[in-house]
Chains A and B, each alone.
Chain A
Amino acid sequence: MMNSTNLLTIEGLSTEFRSSHKQWFPVVNRIDLQVTVGETLAVVGESGCGKSMLAHSILRLLPRRIARNAGGRVLLEGRDLLALSEDEMRGVRGKDISMIFQEPMTSLNPLMTVGQQIAESILEHEHCSVQVAARRTLDLMELVGIPEPRARFHQYPHHLSGGMRQRIVIAIALACRPKVLIADEPTTALDVTIQAQVLELIDKLKRELGMGVILITHDLGVVAEWAQRIMVMYAGRKVEEADAETFFTSPRHPYSRALLASVPRPNDVMNGVVKPLAEITGTVPPLDRLGGGCAFADRCTMGTDACRSNSPAFRLLTPSSGVACIHAGN
């Protein structure tokens, strides 16, 4: 899967959390992934499977008191971010890699004008005057589709709607033209029409700025529309990776299939076919009490005794896709 235009290459990244019993347990477990220029990689999985933890681990945003790195490398154009000092890492955040968070309502400082919040990022990373930063802020606001940027510049977040706020958050993330954008469920809190606008915007900017995007979501409809590649996570691990088309036509992992079965198919909906939605029975097991075998075994319809004895390793099925299941793919 190596590629000359690889922006971000993650190898065996593991992050551990501290449980209430002061024991360390993995929430991100030996993850490998690549993001190339102009590509959107979707990371999907149920709530609590470690998607946000993966994103936070890449930017090293987790508090050291409760989380620690447990191995791996995060290579941004060959430079290992995990080896950087905290000061060097600050130079990467918001500059080379930016992140958009889930909650537009709360991810802006209520006491600072939105213009200031965008300009702050520019001033932090680029040695330019306040005037230049202000002008670039106005440009950015225009870029992300905020009407009347001049008037909006001096407004506070509470003056703006959810969709507008998320555009501000995106403008902050894009302020320094990052190479990689991590969007952690950027539209979950927005209503459907705004969702589409925001995703459209991210996609447009990705192409214009030549970024790589990691799009975290549990909406497979969003994945189908905007992502070129998909990585499915379960209980902190990568259980399947494939290009979008392959994934939707022939998902390999039982968990992926279950996920797909639980989504109404656009074609069925349009043709008026009403099928009862399949639900994945059971829940994600608590990560601090994972046993040795496949984490999905309790919920898997294909599970056998062999699944419970050792954890299935991720294996490549084609040069660009693979699965972590001992029974899948043959």
Chain B
Amino acid sequence: MWSSRARYVLNRLIHGLPIIFAIVIANFFLIRLAPGDAAQVLAGEAGAASEEYMRQIRQQFGLDQPLYIQFISYMKNILMFDMGYSFRHGREVSSLIFERVGATALLMFASMVISVGVGVLLGALAAIKDRTILSNVIVIFSIVSYATPLFWVGLMLIIVFSIHLGWFPTSGIATVGSTMTGWQYALDIAHHLVLPAVTLSFFYMALYTRLMRASMLETLGLDFIKTARAKGLSDRKIVSRHALRNAILPVLTMAGVQVSSMLGGSVIIESVFGWPGLGLLAFESLFARDLNLLLGIFFLSSILVVVTNAIVDVVYTIVDPRIELKGKLAHG
């Protein structure tokens, strides 16, 4: 059982490799389409835009090489997880990124759990209580949340829950200058995590609520629900044992698809909440034209997406026994 599941996961990850490479290649060329290079930015900031100084910088970082040489050396390095040097920060890109990736992964994971969890709950409730006030309230709530921009939600939450009520900190990942350890430290991070995670999950929660409601309504009309009723099961058991699991499947599929879009959303959220993750780093490096760093972030993001997709796939095989078979069939 587990060995076949492990093989399935491995298989999914291997299938992700070409995607990661395609993304790496595309990123490399896309970024160079933008006008100006790092040398210009650095020179501008240093206030000394002399040709001599720029040439020196270009040479130092290999920016004077032809594009294909830059590309080949980039790919070579990528294979060894060497993502180059950030001239902006004066540090290895990999160390910069690995320092930040945890924060983003935490934010994404929390948002995913909140949006899927709450979405499934609200959607199921709206379907079970179809045509009641509760259901209408949920539907309207989800339409409104769906249409509200992320940054606005973030600002409103900060104003209400941080500034007025003082329940949550306004920004950062942990209390600055504190010496907390162990559980205390974890709790402090969790406390800081609440607002950004809720904000990021808002849109997706609305999406999953709507999806879950539709899927649940459909499931409740299926034949096997009638079989369950004819067994004499109570409505509660029919929902919990038979309807929920079946109705969740489309939500899981969607959640898998949405991982990358959520990563995009985290750029905004991290900026609004000063959450020290990849998004914030990407945002900064974009304006600084810190190419190596930006490419490194993209590279890692694509890995993050592929890995998360694989995780969603595994969850899917646990929920839906039919998938395993399809996987096996695909390998003959």
Contact = CB atoms under 8 A, between A and B. Distances in A.
Interface of A: 59, 61, 65, 90-95, 98-99, 101, 103, 106-112, 117, 120-121, 124-125, 156, 158, 169, 172-173
Contact of B231 (A110, A111, A172): A172
Given A106-B224, A110-B322, A111-B321, A61 B230 contact: yes
Contacts of B228: 109
B232 A120 contact: no
Contacts of B222: 106
A92 B230 contact: no
Contacts of A111: 245-246, 319-321
Contacts of A172: 227, 231
Contacts of A91: 232
Contact of B227 (A125, A156, A158, A169): A169
Given A120-B241, A156-B321, A158-B322, A109 B233 contact: no
9 contacts: A61-B229, A61-B230, A90-B234, A92-B232, A94-B232, A106-B222, A110-B224, A156-B321, A158-B325
B226 A121 contact: no
A90 B232 contact: yes
A120 B231 contact: yes
Contacts of B226: 61, 101, 107
Contacts of B241: 112, 120
Contacts of A103: 223
Q: Identify the interface centre among B229, B241, B242, B320: most chain A CB within 10 Å of its CB.
A: B229
Interface residues of B, number: 23
B231 A109 contact: no
A177 B99 CA distance: 65
A55 B246 CA distance: 27
A90 B322 contact: no
A75 B170 CA distance: 68
Interface string B107-128: 0000000000000000000000
Interface string B232-255: 111001000110011000000000
B224 A94 contact: no
Contact of B230 (A65, A99, A108, A109): A99
B122 to A, nearest CB: 22
A217 to B, nearest CB: 18
A214 to B, nearest CB: 14
A124 B325 contact: no
B322 A112 contact: no
A109 B234 contact: no
A109 B232 contact: no
Interface in B295-332: 319-322, 325
B303 to A, nearest CB: 31
Contacts of A173: 230
A93 B246 contact: no
A92 B229 CA distance: 11
B224 A95 contact: no
Contact of A93 (B229, B237, B325): B229
